[in-house]
Structure 1
Amino acid sequence: MFSIVEMVVVLVAAALMTVVGIKEDAAKRRNQVLTAEGQNEAVINAALGNWVTRHYATLTQNGPVAVLPATDLPTLNDLFTEGNLQQPHANGPFWGGAYVISMSVGPSTCSASAGDCHVTYVLYPSKPVMRAGNPDVIGASIIAQAGGNAFGFSKTQNSGTITGINGAWNATNPLSGNPAAVVLATNGPTSDGNSVYIRRDGALTWTGDQNVNHVSLHNVHNLDAEGTVSAANIGATGAVAASGAVSAGTTVSTGNIGWPRVACTKINQMTGASDNSGLMLSCQKVSGVLQWMPIGGPKLWYGYTNIPNGNGTFVLDPNCPAGGTPLLVVTGQSMYTDPTAVVSYPTAGTGPWTVYITDGSGNIVPGSAVATSFCTY
């Protein structure tokens, strides 16, 4: 059996183990809370980066700004309202204070027209991480580690400087007195809206040739080209404008919106007739007025019919598209008549026609001619 002394030793040891276990459990739970805070601040920082991307053109429109006024900066509620944050966030960490956002536009030599301005921002709690009334540098390091490479913290030594994770970057401690255990996140030099990505708001121009790797571009409004546009197939419901050549390996199709003698807006524009007949029209100046007219002119010649004798030859009329009027011209080739008589080539009908060859008295005479049909507009 155990002696009383041995039992006391066992009980004391068990009590010590319980106290150690409680402390370890409390430390573990605190580490979990600190890690969650770092992850939470990382979400806010990413949302802030998205906000800068959306508002980049507005932020940089006036060129360099040392410190943007608070009225130009978003609140956490603004980030949520615009959809950068998927859910509302508390405006400060669990140890007190509020999240502070600061931005600047630089360098001092940049300009909006040149597109070389950068937006730099920082996000930090207004109070350092505290534990038992003292700055908790270890706690700040846990938060920064959980936040990622955009995060840093101030150490006990040289607390006036915020050092990024793994010493990747440095920043000035933003809090008065330069306390240790200050956590700060920044977008850094390469994630400020002016990056390698094509900006959706068009604030920056491309600086080199682009290869879209055989993917499609949809919903393009206007396509303007200074050089050559080459394509296996071009389909457009709007305007395709180019100051250089437009080459097609197969066909070029237009809309069907024109009608002969109807006003148009720009000379040399082309379109099809609105009756879908295939008649091509161009915008031409007729009697000083821009009008849609057939590309071949106001008369489109169709068929030739031999008139072998003057007894009457039947000539078919053309099927005139786009409201054209069928007409006929008869040109004599040979005839036999009294030298004192007048030779005529009368026609009967408005299409089809019957063509005759007559003398001045209206008598049919031998001869031949060619009847040429055409459409007039």
Structure 2
Amino acid sequence: MGSIIEMAVFLAASAILTVYSIREDIQKHLASLLATEGQNEAVITDALGRWANENFSTLLTQYTQSGNSTLTAPTIADLQTAGNLKQAYRAGPFWGGTYTIQMSMLPAGCTETAGNCHVSWIFYPSLPYARNGKPDVSGAAQIAVAANSQDVQFGYSSTRNAATISGLNGAWTANNPLTGTPAAAILATNGQNSDGNSLYIRRDGSLTWTGDQNVNGVSLHNVNSIDATGTIAVPAVSASNVAVSNAVRTPSTLYVQNSAGTAPAPIDTGTAAVHGNATVYGALEVANTATPRASCASTSGTTRVAANADGSGQLLSCLYNQWVPVSGPAPRYQYYTVGYGSYVPAPQCSAGGSPQILLVPQSFNINTTAQFNAYSTGTGPWTVYLTDGSNSNIGAQGVVETYCAY
């Protein structure tokens, strides 16, 4: 009899343990299922956030043209087609219903010009999480906890206040969007008054900065144009082309150096005005653009200097509105001591100049009643003649200066 009772107790205990074990397995399976659902919803909302970033310009245009702050939101299929979701997902949670996405442009009255528009969106299953036909707040909380992330905020409605969705740890609240405002409704949002990505620079340029930026000493590469209304202060500027519309300001001497900063570098400019002395430590080269006696005009308070257009190297200045050699209108070319029959070469004049000769007798004897002749003929080279009235050589000497007349 005792053995039968012991056997009955053993069988009863075994049955209880089996039932308990089954219930434990069910709870573990359910917890895993809820966590998986939360992770799936987190992936979907992350893809939704990236889709909103990438399509912000289009959404802003839609809002600007329609004036309606309610935007056309993507579907799960749209997220998959756009590549934001890398694999196929069901259109709704495992307990039924569909995933719903709503988008709006905030704040009310924002404008593209002001750059203060943000996309706010909410994501939620169209049915509350339920077990055995009743809302299960505990299960909804497990899903929200598994789905919650830094960029996307999940919450759920409780039995005590089913009309309100509360974020985890009471971080935020929102109205329950489900019909009848049931408990165990799950909702995710990127923010109630601004999109969660408004903290970041949009890569399409559709949001403007609202404050000073600190890039923490890192480099900016592949920049196209930089337009500044204030001061650009840098210890060194390295650029292939620099366009300055106003002024380059320096507290002292402005140096143009090679890329290593070890020596001066060439500079090539258009018209340049120097309001002070210019010191040239190398050769000064000027353009071959002037023609002697051609008209010219100097700016008031200045004098123009240019080189002869023939490339000879002769410098001319603008004198009384005409180009004249810097050395004067008849610069001397060479000096010779001559006698009767001396050969005098003609000077090599730059363009616009004509060879000239000046003969000055200096030592001669002649009868005071006789005639003295000192002459040369032609435009050079010349032969010098110092004769008496009968054109006879009298052994006189003199000097000759050759010059070019302009």
Could you say whether these structures have the same fold, taking a TM-score greater than 0.5 normalized by the shorter chain as the test? Answer: yes
Displacement after TM superposition at 1:219 (Å): 1.0
**Per-residue displacement from partner, 1:233-259 (whole Å, max 9, x unpaired)?**
43445x5434343468653789xxxxx
8 Å CA contact 2:357–2:403 kept in 1: the answer is no
The SS at the match of 1:102 is strand
| Cα distance in 2, alignment partners of residues 230 and 297 from structure 1 | 35
> What is the letter of the counterpart of residue 288 of structure 2?
K
Task: Note the aligned Cα RMSD (angstroms).
Answer: 3.8
Determine which structure has the larger strand proportion and give its number. Answer: 1
- Partner SS state of residue 159, structure 2: coil
Partner residue in 2 for 1:28: 28
Change in 2 beyond 3 A, CA 1:336/1:252: closer
In structure 2, relative to structure 1, the CA distance for the partners of 1:368 and 1:126 (3 Å cut) is farther
1:52-201 equivalences in 2 (<5 Å): 52-61=52-61, 62=63, 65-68=68-71, 72-148=72-148, 150-189=153-192, 192=195, 195-201=198-204
User: What's the counterpart of residue 251 of structure 1?
Assistant: 256
Q: Once the two structures are aligned, what percentage of the paired residues are identical?
A: 45
CA contact (8 A) 1:225 1:243 kept: no
Q: Find the counterpart in structure 2 of residue 213 from structure 1.
A: 216
- Aligned 8 A contact 2:128 2:182 in 1: yes
Distance (whole Å) between structure 1 residues aligned to residue 86 and residue 7 of structure 2 = 58
Please give the alpha-carbon distance, in whole angstroms, between the structure 1 residues aligned to 2:235 and 2:249. 9
Q: Which runs of 5+ in 2 are unaligned?
A: 260-265, 273-283, 291-306, 315-324, 339-344, 359-377, 383-398
**Contact in 2 for aligned 1:42/1:148 (Cα 8 Å):** yes
Q: How does 1:235-250 map to 2 (within 5 A)?
A: 235-237=238-240, 240-246=242-248, 250=255
Q: Does 1:13 align with 2:2?
A: no
Alpha-carbon distance between aligned partners in 1 of 2:268 and 2:50, rounded to the nearest angstrom: 50
The alpha-carbon deviation at position 23 of structure 1 amounts to 0.6
- Answer yes or no: is the 8 Å Cα contact 2:159–2:183 preserved in 1: yes
Question: Are 2:288 and 2:310, in contact at CA under 8 Å, matched by a contact in 1?
Answer: no
Q: Secondary structure at the match of 2:100?
A: strand
**Where does residue 362 of structure 1 map in the other structure?**
380
How far the C-alpha of 1:140 sits from its partner, in A, is: 0.7
SS in 2 for 1:185: strand
1:216/1:200 CA distance change after superposition, 3 Å: same
Stretch moving more, 19-28 or 82-91: 82-91
Residue type matched to 1:362 in 2?
Answer: G
Contact conserved, 2:355 with 2:402, CA < 8 A, in 1? no
Runs of 4+ with >4 A deviation: 247-250, 295-298, 333-338, 355-360, 364-370
Q: Is the 8 Å Cα contact of residues 56 and 193 (structure 1) preserved in structure 2? A: no
Which TM-score applies when normalising by structure 2? 0.64
Distance 2:183 2:191 in 1: 21
How do 1:275-290 residues align onto structure 2 when only pairs under 5 Å count?
280=268, 282=270
C-alpha distance 46-250 of structure 1, shift in aligned 2 (>3 A): farther
State the structure with more CA Rg: 2
* Matched residue, 2:374: none
- TM-score (norm: length of structure 1): 0.68
